[in-house]
Amino acid sequence: MIPAPFDYVRPSSLDEACRILGAADPAEGDVKALAGGQSLLPLLRLRLSYPSVLVDLGRLEELRGVQDRGDHVFIGALTTHDEVLRSPVVREHAPLVALATATVADPAVRHRGTFGGSLAHADPAGDLPAVALALDCVLVTASGAGGREIPAAGFFTGYLETALEPGEVLAGVRVPKLGDGWGFHYEKFHRTAQAWAVVGVAAAVRLEAGTIAQARIGLTNMGPAPVRARTVETALRGVTPPAAGAGADGGRDPVRDACAWADEGTAPPADLHAKPDYRRHLARVLTHRAVRAALS
Ligand code: FAD
């Protein structure tokens, strides 16, 4: 289908972008930021979204790139998935971001789609919101009022909804470096290679003297918004993983037992690909796989 008519502007500064987005009159239609267009343009073509103005952020070089800032990695909102994947700073200091980004779509989408766009779009089926939750990332915004720092836990407010206010642009994301002793994994179940997740699990786990001291779990596609799975995190704390291979024969594995809490408090959707019960089953199985992989 062809999108409904809209005006197109391409500001050359962040101030100008915020001014245009902030000056929008809701009575005259929505004004939307455009980043890589990989989610927004399909919505326009399907006429599920019909903004009156698109504000293309593409010229705002200050929103691009990855920086090592000591205790955290800063990823500019306009950094493409491909640039994130190729960044040695991300690979070394934010490996969970790299692992999940590698599973996003295909190379064509990864060359245009952006890290910030994935978070601002807040699709519960997207791979990166679950990672931002698991890592306690901080989302940094810019606006005419000066901008804010929003913890990931407060950013995703509903289905395709975020805490961003009209006139506010996501400028970048602070990804904390978790330090020594942590292991990471992103486990994604998809029906075909390069497809969206039926369910995904982002896991960060820290061992101390052979026992799980901390676990952080984010879930993809297990509710109307991305989910931080706190109950399973609590269940995993204090668990001593069995030696490699133990539990594989169906014998007792306390990590698997704890991961049975992975779907607690979730409200998974029903769609063409899976019913809620199947998603719950996947969440438990994939969390076990993700935690085991993170531990190894
Ligand atoms: P856009 O489409 O430009 O924008 C998306 C939304 O975010 C819009 O509402 C826009 O206004 C807003 N926005 C964007 N940037 C900002 C900003 N800086 N500040 C404020 N608001 C902003 N994603 C996955 O996670 N996993 C997948 O497996 C996957 N598969 C895909 C397969 C296909 C075929 C396609 C087309 C997309 C797929 N995606 C997948 C989505 C992809 O990751 C997109 O890149 C991402 O969802 C949106 O990023 P974007 O830069 O394209 O944003």
pLDDT for residue 248: 57
Q: How far is the CA of 34 from the centre of ligand 1 (A)?
A: 9
121 C-alpha to center of ligand 1: Å?
Answer: 6
Q: Which of 68, 65, 77 is nearest to 141 (CA)?
A: 77
Tally of structural domains, the chain: 3
Of the residues 78, 104, 119, which should be mutated to test ligand 1's pocket, given the most ligand atoms within 8 Å of the CB?
A: 104
Residues having CB closer than 6 A to ligand 1 are 32-40, 42, 57, 77, 104-105, 109, 113-114, 116-118, 120-121, 123, 126-128, 164, 169-170, 196
Is residue 43, in this structure, part of any structural domain at all?
yes
Q: Which of 9, 18, 20, 38 to probe ligand 1 with, by most ligand atoms within 8 A of CB?
A: 38
Which residues does 95 contact at the CB level (< 8 Å), separation at least 6?
A: 184
**Is 1 part of a structural domain of the chain?**
no
**Which domain CATH number covers 23?**
3.30.43.10
User: Which residues contact residue 243 at a Cβ distance below 8 angstroms, ignoring those fewer than 6 apart?
Assistant: none
Residues 267 and 224: beta-carbon distance below 8 Å: yes
Last residue of a domain, one of 56, 74, 89: 56
- The total of other beta-carbon atoms located within 10 Å of residue 99's CB is 23
User: Residue 17: which domain range?
Assistant: 7-56
Sign of CA dihedral 264, 231, 254, 256: positive
Digits of tens for pLDDT over the chain (296 positions)?
888 899 999 999 999 999 999 887 777 778 999 999 999 999 999 999 889 999 999 999 999 999 999 999 999 999 999 999 999 999 999 999 999 999 999 999 999 999 999 999 999 999 999 999 999 999 999 998 889 999 999 999 999 999 999 899 999 999 999 988 999 999 999 998 888 999 999 999 999 999 999 999 999 999 999 999 999 999 999 999 987 666 555 678 999 999 999 999 999 999 999 999 999 999 999 999 999 999 99
ipTM for the whole predicted complex goes beyond 0.95:
yes
Contacts of 3 (CB under 8 A, 6+ apart): 41, 44, 45, 47, 50
Closest listed residue to residue 75, CA positions, set 55, 59, 57, 97: 97
Residue having the nearest C-alpha atom to atom 38 of ligand 1: 105
Does residue 52 lie within any of the structural domains?
yes
User: Would you say 132 and 173 are in contact if contact means Cβ atoms under 8 Å apart?
Assistant: yes
Q: How far is the CA of 37 from the centre of ligand 1 (A)?
A: 6
How far is the C-alpha of 79 from the C-alpha of 38, rounded, in Å?
14
- If asked whether residues 232 and 255 sit together in one domain, one would say yes
113 with 205, same domain: the answer is: no
